[in-house]
């Protein structure tokens, strides 16, 4: 572990984890804290950030894309596109709070990215976020982007949402994207994984019991094992290749392990990387920690591989990084 990662864990243990020990979740408090402390990186040279939050937008969120010489958006229909779904327990965070991941993944992948501003709980409970993700993907197809040029990616709740979106698209008979990238995905809202207990107290960001409490905000009266809310319970046959990264000390580690096992059992190509001692969604600390940069390098390699011509299938072997 680098000293930068150790510092990030120290910060999370003191500034974030105490809130997860409380029995009551403050939705407004979490949103206010995120808005206050969210860091937005500078838009890299040769790239353009285009915000779409106005009324009447068919896609609410942010486009991050290569720019033309005159500063306008480059035509990206024939280049890879990443549909990004941010984390935040389905009740806080936004495309703005996750720009460091989106910028880092898109620039490394040489892809355009759309970061979706999906509706949040508890104002909009399940299946609102899923409905928004499905509509966004279908809008990308309608705009002329081929399915085989699109990768759906997300972190934490957004990682679970990305996987649920793939399952729902398959069930609906839609053309499937080239692949899915899942960073520390939250795939089991029933909080039944062994790591919820084993890593409780070790995870620098979350306490184990906090996971079930957060799930209720999104689920409402929906069963925690509904496969579109908790895709660890879904039949994963026929999905495109998956690339998953998680930290070894996360309480959500088994949410990744079980998905990888289930996917492999159905013949889905999947690469699971378990990074020693990394905190939940450490990629968001790019460019401050070297492990974040290396993790995004690997994810970008997957994006280029599955969207490239004559793309080979990723390795199905479990990796330790």
Active-site residue set: 156, 250, 280
Beta bridge partners of 149: none
DSSP, res 222: S
User: Cα 289 vs. chain centroid, distance in angstroms?
Assistant: 19
The CA distance from 71 to 50, in Å, is 11
18 burial via Cβ count (<10 Å: 0-12, 13-18, 19+) = exposed
Beta bridge partners of 271: 243
Q: Whose CA is closest to 171, among 243, 226, 248?
A: 226
CA nearest 202: which of 213, 194, 191?
Answer: 194
Where would I find the H helices in the chain? 3-15, 17-20, 27-37, 99-109, 128-142, 157-172, 195-198, 209-219, 253-265, 290-307
Pick from 92, 301, 89, 313: nearest CA to 210: 89
Distances (CA, A) of 260 to 166, 219, 253, 270, 316: 14, 24, 11, 6, 9
């Amino acid at each position: 572990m680098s000293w930068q990662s150790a510092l990030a864990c120290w910060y999370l243990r003191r500034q974030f984890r105490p809130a997860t020990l409380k029995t009551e979740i403050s939705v407004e408090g979490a949103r206010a804290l995120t808005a206050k402390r969210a860091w937005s990186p500078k838009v890299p040279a040769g790239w353009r950030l285009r915000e779409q939050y106005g009324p009447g937008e068919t896609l609410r969120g942010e486009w991050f894309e290569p720019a033309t010489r005159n500063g306008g958006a480059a035509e990206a229909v024939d280049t890879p596109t990443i549909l990004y779904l941010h984390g935040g327990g389905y009740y806080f965070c936004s495309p703005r709070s996750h720009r460091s991941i989106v910028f880092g993944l898109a620039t490394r992948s040489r892809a355009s990215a759309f970061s979706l501003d999906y509706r949040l709980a508890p104002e909009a409970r399940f299946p609102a976020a899923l409905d928004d993700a499905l509509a966004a993907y279908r809008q990308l197809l309608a705009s002329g982007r081929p399915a085989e040029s699109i990768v759906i990616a997300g972190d934490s709740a957004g990682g679970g949402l990305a996987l649920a979106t793939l399952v729902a698209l398959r069930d609906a008979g839609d053309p499937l994207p080239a692949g899915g990238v899942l960073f520390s995905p939250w795939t089991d809202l029933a909080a039944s994984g062994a790591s919820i207990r084993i890593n409780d107290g070790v995870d620098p960001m979350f306490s184990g019991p906090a996971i079930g409490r957060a799930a209720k905000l999104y689920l409402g009266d929906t069963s925690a094992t509904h496969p579109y809310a908790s895709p660890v319970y879904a039949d994963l046959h026929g999905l495109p290749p998956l690339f998953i990264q998680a930290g070894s000390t996360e309480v959500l580690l088994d949410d990744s392990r079980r998905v990888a096992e289930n996917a492999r059992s159905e013949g889905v190509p999947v690469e699971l990387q378990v990074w020693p001692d990394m905190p939940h969604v450490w990629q968001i600390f790019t460019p401050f920690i070297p492990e974040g940069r290396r993790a995004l390098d690997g994810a970008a390699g997957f994006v280029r591989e599955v969207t490239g011509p004559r793309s080979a299938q990723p390795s199905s072997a479990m990796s330790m990084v």
